Amino acid sequence: MQIDPDGWLSGAEHIASPNFDQRESAIELLVIHNISLPPGEFGGEGVERLFTNTLDRDAHPYYRTIPQGRVSSHFYIRRDGHLIQFVSVLQRAWHAGLSVWQRRERCNDFSIGIELEGSDFVPFTDAQYKALHELTIALRAAFPIRGIAGHSDIAPSRKTDPGPCFDWQRYLALLSA
């Protein structure tokens, strides 16, 4: 896997999100998230539809509780390890919201967002750790990544993801092997 000159990863499915804008800072941070729509249900198209502004708010009662807004992430890793890219890494995806990392605000400006299909209450799969590891290696080869953080690390008063079921030790051990 590698990043092409337009910021798209070879080996990933590409589903373009309209929810991005110009990046004006160097990429220094990876932000790990978890998401499932509806919460705790896996395998549907809710996340893809949310990131492409095509979510049918009448398709599930939970969808009506999601604030109207536009969100995206650069990458989404399904439970089976399938990798989808929504936004070029050269663009600024809208994944972190109000956030701070090492006293720098607006983490979207200098980060890449990676969503794992999951929740705070279910362990992630071997396939997801494998895909996340390979993606991280490719991103580190292309950019001067200085840090990796959970969404909860950069927005602790609002977010809990990737949650207590994300095995940071396992992930970091894969990266150091």
Q: Among all residues, which ones are annotated catalytic?
A: 115
Question: Do 119 and 38 form a contact (C-beta atoms < 8 A)?
Answer: no
Ordered DSSP codes for 77-134: E-TT--EEE-S-TTEEES-S-S-EETTEE-GGGGEEEEEEE-BTTBPPPHHHHHHHHH
Exposed, middle or buried: residue 12 (CB in 10 Å: 0-12, 13-18, 19+)?
Answer: buried
Distance CA 49, CA 37 (A): 10
- Element spanning 172, H or E: helix 168-176
